[in-house]
Amino acid sequence: MSELASGTETNVREAPRSSRPLEVIGRSSPSNAPPEERYEFFTVVQGYLDRAASIIGTPAYVQSILSQPKNELIVHFPVRMDNGEYRLFKGYRIQHSNILGPYKGGMRYHESASLDDFKALASLMTWKCSLMNLPFGGAKGGIKFNPREVSRAELQRITRRFFHALGGNIGPDYDIPAPDMGTNAQTMAWAMDTYVNTVGMVSKQAVMGVVTGKPITSGGTFGREKATGQGLVFCIQDWARRNHFDLEGKKLMVQGFGNVGSHTAVLLSHLGVSLVAVGDHTGYLYNPEGFNAHRLQSYVQSHGSIAGYPNGNAITREDFFSLQADIFVPAALENQVGVTEAEALQVKLVAEGANGPTTPDGERVLLRRGIEVLPDVIANAGGVTVSYYEWVQNRRSEQWDIEEVETRLREAMENAYSRVAHVALNAGCDFRTACYVVALQRLQQVYEEREIFP
Ligand code: GLU
């Protein structure tokens, strides 16, 4: 199952086969909207950096270094498809910052992925890792194609050729990929296996930490699969405690029912929160009595989407956004909650499981209407935090039990939450800006201590 479920993909269909021997996949995509309608995700994230920098008086040179990724890598690599034809794929790895430690971040397989998205997502990883006090920088990458349109064997060959093409541009002490939308533990097992087979016999075991989010038997950690959802739930619990909001009996809406959305819904159901509406790339379903989140999760695991799930009524996207509920978890793509959705939402809290689901204009409307936002930088940071635990275990040849992982994650989330809440109160700013302030303070301090070479 993918790390995040897409909210805008088209239905699964057979890949059109090119009659030409080589073709660059995914040149046209749903995000090829007219320029004025295109969502400039990287510019949006830069805006958050600028806002935080002006609050804490960040030196101009630090701000300018952090305003662009250090490296933008694009690779093209051929793959033999099942029908014997060859196709050329386009892969990306954007390395935003490594001042705090190795570059770190997921690999996304999605047909609408663009350089602008990867730059935004890579910089988000820098802010996330800094905020969570991890010894990592930020990166993101992936391939522009729809993984639902290829066979498992093709997916394996695409993944192996991609990681082979990246070569020494990744490594356990340099850049550490992980799952993201369209990739999962299986993808990471292929990626790790490809990498370890390029480093020579004697180093094989030492470099298993080149990727995180691996299957447990292949060097993964307990708790990584549900980590993003678990971190989100710890964050929601913290918010609820501080706002004297009893979660028991409350109603939840989730957009995107992949790894993040489904684990969040299941974990919240254990706290008495009822999932009343759910949506993914196939449509939206409503059940006023509440879905059985466990059963829906297993259904999506075996069917690939919520389509055809028997216990809900089909509703439109518009209806979904105007439902009466308490918590909304966007766990699909970026740019989902604009002004229209923000005006329609009838909830008390938006907890961002996805990266960048709320637009700046959408957020302004939410805040004006008194709807609070737990921003992506903190809300979905549980994934990379547990990735760090996996990396540490790989380095030490250890296997921690699930209780240890969960205890550490809970503490890490609570600690980050209280630092952010403190800044939000003292600076009188919104929570997202406070997250960027906390993250930037750490980066700024490091630059001031180390200065730049030479
Ligand atoms: N893709 C996840 C994210 O966006 C996890 C990254 C990681 O574990 O390195 O945070």
Map tokens 């439109």 to a residue. 316
**Global pTM value:** 0.93
Q: Is residue 451 part of a domain?
A: no
How far is 300 from 308, CA to CA, in rounded Å?
Answer: 10
For residue 91, what are its two tokens? 């892969």
* Residue numbers of the chain with a pLDDT score lower than 70: 1-37
CB of 385 within 6 A of ligand 1: the answer is no
Asked if residue 230 has its Cβ within 6 Å of ligand 1, the reply is no
How far is the C-alpha of 363 from the C-alpha of 155, rounded, in Å? 37
419 within ligand 1 shell (Cβ under 6 A): no
373's tokens = 């936002």
DSSP state of 39: -
Strand partners, 171: 175
Examine the domain organization and report whether 193 and 85 are in the same domain: yes
CA atoms of 401 and 422, how far apart (whole Å): 32
> In Å, how far are 40, 155, 262 from 179, measured between CA atoms?
24, 14, 16
Count Cβ atoms within 10 A of the Cβ of residue 124 and give its class: 0-12 exposed, 13-18 middle, 19 or more buried.
buried
Q: Which residues are marked as active site?
A: 140
Do 204 and 259 belong to one domain?
Answer: no
Q: Is the CB–ligand 1 distance for residue 178 below 6 Å? A: yes
Q: Which atom of ligand 1 is nearest to the CA of 136?
A: 9
Cβ-contact 39, 335 below 8 angstroms: yes
Domain assignment of residue 171, yes or no: yes
In a domain, 145, yes or no: yes
CB 225 near ligand 1, within 6 Å: no
Residue 394 alpha carbon to ligand 1 centre in Å: 17
Say if residues 118 and 92 touch (Cβ distance below 8 Å): yes
Q: Give me the pLDDT at residue 12, please.
A: 27
Ligand 1 centroid, distance to 384 Cα (angstroms): 5
Q: Please indicate whether residue 106, judged by its CB atom, sits closer than 6 Å to ligand 1.
A: yes
**Ligand 1 atom 9: the closest Cα is on which residue?**
105
Domain-embedded: residue 34: no
Tokens 């954007």, located at residue = 94
CA distance linking residue 389 with residue 373, whole number of Å = 27
Q: Cβ contacts of residue 212 below 8 Å, gap of 6+?
A: 176, 177, 178, 188, 220, 221, 224, 387, 388, 390, 391
CATH number of the domain bearing residue 156: 3.40.50.10860
Domain holding 172, by residue range, is: 41-210
Mutate to test the pocket of ligand 1, among 125, 225, 405 (most ligand atoms within 8 A of CB): 125
Same domain? 82 vs 55: yes
Q: What's residue 67's pLDDT?
A: 97
Q: How many domains does the chain have?
A: 2
The rounded Å distance from CA 352 to ligand 1 centre is 14
Looking at the domain assignment, is residue 27 inside a domain? no
Q: Which atom of ligand 1 is nearest to the CA of 381?
A: 10
Is residue 443 included in any domain, yes or no?
no
Q: Among 320, 353, 374, which residue terminates a domain?
A: 374
What pLDDT does 37 receive? 60
> Does residue 204 share a domain with residue 62?
yes
Question: In the structure encoding, which two tokens stand for residue 317, read together?
Answer: 């996207």
In this prediction, residue 23 carries a pLDDT of 34
Q: Is 355 in the pocket of ligand 1 (CB under 6 A)?
A: yes
Calculate how far, in angstroms, residue 134's C-alpha sits from the geometric centre of ligand 1: 13
| Cα 175 to ligand 1 centroid, rounded to whole Å | 13
Exposed e or buried b for every residue in 14-28, given b needs 16+ CB within 10 A? ebeeeeeeebebbee
> Can you give the pLDDT at residue 25?
36
How far is 170 from 191, CA to CA, in rounded Å? 11
Residues 206 and 231 in one domain: no
Taking only the tens place, the pLDDT of each residue in 338-389 is 999 999 999 999 999 999 999 999 999 999 999 999 999 999 999 999 999 9
pLDDT score recorded for residue 5? 45
Q: Mark whether 299 and 357 lie in a shared domain.
A: yes
CATH code: domain of residue 362: 3.40.50.720
- Asked whether residue 231 falls in the same domain as residue 351, the answer is yes
